[in-house]
Structure 1
Amino acid sequence: MTALVVGVDGGGTSTRCVVATHAGEVAGRGRAAGSNALSSADPGAALRAALRAALGGLPPGQVTAGVFALAGSGPAGGRAAGLAADAWRACGLAGRPAVVPDTLAAFAGATAEPSGTVLVAGTGAVATRVTGRGPAGRADGYGWILGDEGSGAWIGRRAVRAVLAALDGRAGPTALRDAVPGGGAAERIVDAVHAGVAEAGPAWLARLAPAVEAAARHGDAAALAIVREAAERLLATVRALGPCPGPLVLAGSLLTEPTLLAERVRAGLAGAGLTVLTARSGDAGARGAAALALHGPGPGTPASAAAHRRLLS
């Protein structure tokens, strides 16, 4: 019987699941909607859907461990753990999965090193110091209402505010007006934003980030100011953790894609003597979560380290 582990990477926009053997070979994959315990519309349903898809026809009895790396698991740890346990039982799996911040999976999905730092900017934003594959410090990651500065949701909210300011005369015109739903009328824009966030959470706001990127590349002053401030806030977030041995992993679509924001963040990190790695796209975070499951709660073994490297290859 081939023993299996499960890794789940649940963010505000999507949830990915990987089932892997103890040798580090991927046996199944699944994907569903966002499962952020703080902001997603139905995180429990997303976790169940991704896990069921990844398990496919694999026997549940072969699964020996699982790690759910969930956005929002820090501030809402109790709820996230309950959602993970419910999804685990719903799929017929024995025991309980471990629940960790999604930043740990992002780090483990980019490097097999046990310690370092990770800065994530996707729908949300957070930086984590990693020591021995566990969290040793965090900055931001407080959700789109209270924090996540420099994130996709933060950028989208700033874009809407820039358009509203332009419409009522508090600021100059901006090309972002064409990107924000509402037909260029302030009241309709406000209604559209509230309806969109109610339906899809902060991921709805994060959908405006590509429009800000495009407008900034064409020289729009408001968009350039948003990108510049987003980079400054992300740099302040990671610097708040202080110096840390090991690599710095940049994760999340805003930092892994070729964006102006990523360029500014990398420029701000230059000269700091850091080894900067870029997390892979796709299911790298879920692979990282599966690698954490292979290592278990301790420091791991040479075999688990080899399997970890194989998962990343």
Structure 2
Amino acid sequence: MNESSVSRKGQPVLAAIDGGATKTIVRLALPDGTILGEGRGGSANIASDIHLACASVKTGFGHALLSAGLSPDDVSSGAVHIFAGAGMAGAEVGDNARRFTVLFDDFAGLEVRTDAYTSCIGAHNGADGAVVAVGTGSFGYAIRGSDIRRVGGWGFPQSDEGSGAWIGLEAARHMLNVQDQRLPESGLSSQLRNYLIVTGHDPLTWSIGATATQFASLAPVVVGAARAGEPTAADILKRAGEDVEKLVNTLMSQDEFCRLPLCLLGGLAPIIMPFLPGSVSDRLVASQGTAVDGAMKLALRAYEKTV
């Protein structure tokens, strides 16, 4: 950041917070869109651990301040006024959004929504639209005016079908079934077993207590095997594609949402795309932005309430 970017006491600075299950991104900008800096923190699901989420956001915010040439003293002294927008995993549960907000009473303004919401408004540049995200987890989300529709995303393993975590779980199940001789040995089972051994794990006990993120770490093994023509891995990805198709069809089934533009988001989106039918892939449009961009729009709303 150059010295003139924050030029007066009480300078408004926008903070976009993207708090997800695996990482947190905080980006600082001026209201005119000038990017000042960015920082990262750890996982931030306010439904499962609001205090860990708060710590992750504050870590990312501290790194973003440093990147921008600012310090926490600039905030506490009033040299800058922070107007934040936060897309947080778990924000839709109970009064989590309110509880999270009160932990940041040094901010001049804070708008909190779910990370699904910020993903959607980021992907469609603030316009009405729908998204299906396929990463560690999966969900569908659509916005039309004041109406919102959500499908899936209720957590792993009870939901998140077709996601990286689901793919890893299916692969682990297959490997254990092979171990029991309920299924014949396969290329996928041997590759997965070898991968776990090389990474220092016992293949037979690794999955006990494993998190969604840990199961999702197996997805690249499945993808690599499928690309090499391994049939069991290819079948898992085919079934993942079918689950994502169901997400899309359910999300877009109601009249008020069926004509919305649709984006496929997440790290697994390009992997799943070939397994989607034309009825889904033909309606997809390119994303215009990220969840961080969506959070920045929330931050701008928080600021505009004061001017």
TM-score, scaled relative to structure 1? 0.79
Q: Percent identity?
A: 28
State the alpha-carbon separation in 2 of the partners of residues 169 and 182 from structure 1. Answer: 19
1:290 match: 296
Let me know the Cα RMSD of the aligned residues.
Answer: 2.8
Unaligned runs of 5+ in 1: 301-313
Q: 2:158 aligns with which of 123, 146, 159?
A: 146
Q: Does 1:31 align with 2:40?
A: yes
Query: What number of residue pairs does the alignment pair up?
Result: 279
Q: Which has the larger radius of gyration?
A: 2
Equivalent runs, 1:1-313 vs 2, <5 Å: 1=8, 2-38=11-47, 42-56=52-66, 57=70, 59-60=74-75, 61=78, 62-74=80-92, 76-79=93-96, 81-83=98-100, 85-86=102-103, 88-89=104-105, 92-95=106-109, 97-132=110-145, 136-177=148-189, 178-180=191-193, 183=197, 188-194=202-208, 197=210, 201-241=211-251, 242=253, 243-255=257-269, 258-259=270-271, 261-265=272-276, 267-271=278-282, 274-278=283-287, 284-296=290-302
Contact 2:83 2:107 in 1 (8 A): no
1:154 counterpart letter in structure 2: W
Structure 1 stretch displaced more, 60-69 or 23-32: 60-69
Q: How big is the shift at 1:114?
A: 1.7
State the alpha-carbon separation in 2 of the partners of residues 250 and 270 from structure 1. Answer: 9
State the alpha-carbon separation in 2 of the partners of residues 4 and 108 from structure 1. Answer: 21
State the alpha-carbon separation in 2 of the partners of residues 12 and 246 from structure 1. Answer: 27
Unaligned runs of 5+ in 2: 1-7
State the alpha-carbon separation in 1 of the partners of residues 25 and 232 from structure 2. Answer: 34
Q: How big is the shift at 1:53?
A: 1.4
Contact 1:250 1:279 in 2 (8 A): no
1:79 counterpart letter in structure 2: N
1:68 counterpart letter in structure 2: A
Q: Secondary structure at the match of 1:123?
A: coil
Contact 1:215 1:223 in 2 (8 A): yes
Distance 1:204 1:42, change over 3 A: farther
Contact 1:18 1:287 in 2 (8 A): no
